[in-house]
Amino acid sequence: MNTARNSDAGFVGSIPQIYDQYLVPLIFEPYAVDLARRVASLPLTNVLELACGSGVVTRRLAMALPASVFIIATDLNQPMLDLAAAVGTSRPVEWRQADALDLPFDKASFDAVICQFGVMFIPDKARVFAEARRVLRRGGVFIFSVWDRIEENDFALAVTEALTDMFPGDPPRFMARVPHGYYDLAMLRRDLASGFSQEPQVETITARSRAASARIPAVAYCQGTPLRSEIEARDAQKLEEATAAAEAAVAARFGTAAVDGKIQAHLISVGG
């Protein structure tokens, strides 16, 4: 469905605020802590972050890295950058709108380029990898993460299946198609080879996604991601009904009180 595909990166309206309030603590925060810890162990003078979103990794980097390490956090989506800047960081960073496919930086400018769960949204994977390599200094490192298949991520799967039941003729497939659509490591290695000659290191990291109620993951996915646009494209009046269906599906599997589900992702690092 063209409408859905055109909205795959559409973090607009109230989506950024709901994303940051609900989805960030639900699934992004554990991986942000881990990524910042890994980056902090490297000898760095500066770091470039791609697709920073509402700044969950940026905030962790600002706390973990010495004040002498300069951080530039970029995103294509200005509303997400505005929210990230409004939330702020523990020390100054530079927020900058930038297209990861055409970075406005000179060759060999950064010691590290990082990207948490952003590559999946970028249409030309090989090109973004080539751009990351271009701006890396010799001996630098590119570290990024992608979600594993949706079947390895409990809440995302439950929500997607609930919406498939609700819209059987044209199910919203954003979660499976985009966030959980770039898990094939053989394909990823082929794309990565367009910019990097070294063999990447790949680690699959399993964590837990926890929330105080089944309502939280339902709102997070249905209203805090571009899945919302897919729901509204099918019936603009059914967003709350879809959220309730997702809540019921999560509750049926994980309970009506505090919920706890598996999340799984791949962390890839490769030298420049």
Q: Six-digit token pair at 59?
A: 């905030």
Does residue 39 carry a pLDDT above 70?
yes
Residue 144: beta bridge partners? 115, 268
**How many independent structural domains does the chain possess?**
1
The pLDDT tens digits of the residues spanning 127-173 come to 999 999 999 999 999 999 999 999 999 999 999 999 999 999 999 99
Contact status, residue 179 vs residue 117, Cβ threshold 8 Å: yes
Domain containing 166 equals: 2-271
pTM of the model: 0.94
Residue 2 pLDDT > 50, yes or no? no
Instruction: Quote the tokens at residue 252.
Output: 């049926």
**Interatomic CA distance for residues 93 and 70, integer angstroms:** 7
Per-residue pLDDT band for 11 (boundaries 50, 70, 90) equals low
Cβ–Cβ under 8 Å, residues 214 and 244: no
pLDDT, position 1: 32
- pLDDT digits 0-9 by tens, 22-33: 999 999 999 999
The CATH number of residue 263's host domain is 3.40.50.150
16 exposure class (CB count in 10 Å sphere: 0-12, 13-18, 19+): buried
Q: What is the pLDDT of residue 7?
A: 52
CA 44 vs CA 16, 37, 68, 71, 91: distances in Å: 30, 13, 9, 10, 17
Q: Give the pair of three-digit tokens for residue 136.
A: 């890396």
Mean pLDDT of 183-188: 97
What pLDDT digit, counting tens, does each position of 189-230 carry? 999 998 999 999 999 999 999 999 999 999 999 999 999 999
DSSP string, the chain: -HHHHHTTT---TTHHHHIIIIIIIIIIHHHHHHHHHHHHTS--SEEEESS-TTSHHHHHHHHHS-TTSEEEEEES-HHHHHHHHHH--SS--EEEE--TTS-SS-TT-EEEEEEES-GGG-S-HHHHHHHHHHHEEEEEEEEEEEE--GGG-HHHHHHHHHHHHHSTTS---HHHHTTTS---HHHHHHHHTTT--SPPEEEEEEEEEEESSTHHHHHHHHHSSTHHHHHHHH-TT-HHHHHHHHHHHHHHHH-SSSEEEEEEEEEEEEE-
Using the predicted structure, report yes or no on whether residue 13 has a pLDDT greater than 80.
Answer: no
For residue 42, pLDDT over 80 is answered with yes
Q: In what order do the strands lie in the sheet with 70-75?
A: 94-97, 70-75, 46-49, 110-116, 136-147, 259-271, 201-211
Instruction: List pLDDT tens digits, range 223-267.
Output: 999 999 999 999 999 999 999 999 999 999 999 899 999 999 999
Q: What is the pLDDT of residue 12?
A: 55
Q: Given a cut of 90, is residue 91 above it in pLDDT?
A: yes
DSSP of 101-155, one letter per residue? TS-SS-TT-EEEEEEES-GGG-S-HHHHHHHHHHHEEEEEEEEEEEE--GGG-HH
